[in-house]
Structure 1
Amino acid sequence: MISKMLTKYKSVIAYLFWGVVTTLVNIGVFMLWYKAGGNYQVGTVLAWFLSVLVAFFSNKVWVFNSHYSSVSGTLKEMLTFFVARVATLGIDIIVTWVGISLLGWNALLVKIIDNVIVVIANYVLSKLFVFKRSNIG
């Protein structure tokens, strides 16, 4: 029973694990930048870029089992992945701006709430558009 559930939800479990790793990278980079006196919006973009790199390779290999069949296929996946993540970067920027600038909330709390929203949106976009079988070439 448990092994059937693990098999059935293997990609979701892997996504959640790597999502936590990616989230820690995102929050860690953001907070290091912010605590060092950097602008939170620049920190958001920097944290986004580094966490998207981690997310692409972990999602490709361990979540969606998309193998490196060709350089062009991998580059196409990477481009699609980054384009999809740009959409959620917009969400990221809006949530941090509303939470920090408008509401005056604690930056760490805002970043945690933000990451929950972004992780869910990223999974849907990756599943539907990035790592689908027809993209692998």
Structure 2
Amino acid sequence: MNRVKSVINTLEKKGYLEIFLYVFFGGLTTLVNFIVYFICRELFQSDFIISNTISWILSVTFAFVTNKLWVFHSKTDSFIALLIEFFKFVFYRLLSFGIDMGSMFILLKWLDLNDYIAKAVTQILVIVSNYFFSKLFIFKNTDKIIEVSDDEKKDESQAKKL
């Protein structure tokens, strides 16, 4: 556990923690996307458009939660603010869905690639686009959650007394 904390501290000091967390949760989001796509295509024999749409909806929901809580540490002070943030997230994910569907169409119909190779290629484009959308337009006004030790709290309260 100390090794994990050491790695996290090193990444944070170098300014890479947010990117690392985004890639980590982006990887999990991609896994959700692939698994759902596979289930829809193979188990339910759905068309690639229906399979891709269902996998997109579930992976976007997963991504919103992980991005909000663990990557960008976004805090909202009201339900309305949460809804606005969610709708902005969905809006930009719809843009990346367009990238996803357009890329899938080109790779499958024009270049005749395998479904799963095409899906892998499109996910790289989607992850990069989504990071920039999230960083620049969705979670841009967030405060980092900072863990403060008891000693630091005592020092702060003593400083206020002075």
SS in 2 for 1:50: helix
1:27 matched to 2:34: yes
1:1-137 equivalent positions in 2, closer than 5 A: 5-7=10-12, 8-36=15-43, 37-133=45-141
Distance 1:42 1:92 in 2: 13
CA RMSD of aligned residues (A): 1.6
Distance 2:79 2:16 in 1: 29
Letter in 2 for 1:25: V
Give the CA deviation at 1:78: 0.1
Give the CA deviation at 1:44: 0.9
SS in 2 for 1:133: coil
Asked if structure 1 preserves the Cα contact closer than 8 Å seen for 2:8 and 2:17, the reply is no
- Structure 1 residue runs of 5 or longer lacking an equivalent are none
Give the CA deviation at 1:115: 0.4
Q: Which residue in the other structure is 2:160 paired with? A: none
SS in 2 for 1:32: helix
Distance 1:4 1:59 in 2: 19
Counting matched residue pairs gives 134
Runs of 4 or more, structure 1, over 3 Å off, are 2-5
Distance 1:40 1:9 in 2: 36
Asked if structure 1 preserves the Cα contact closer than 8 Å seen for 2:104 and 2:122, the reply is yes
The structure number with the bigger radius of gyration is 2
Give the CA deviation at 1:96: 0.9
Q: Which residue in the other structure is 2:158 paired with? A: none
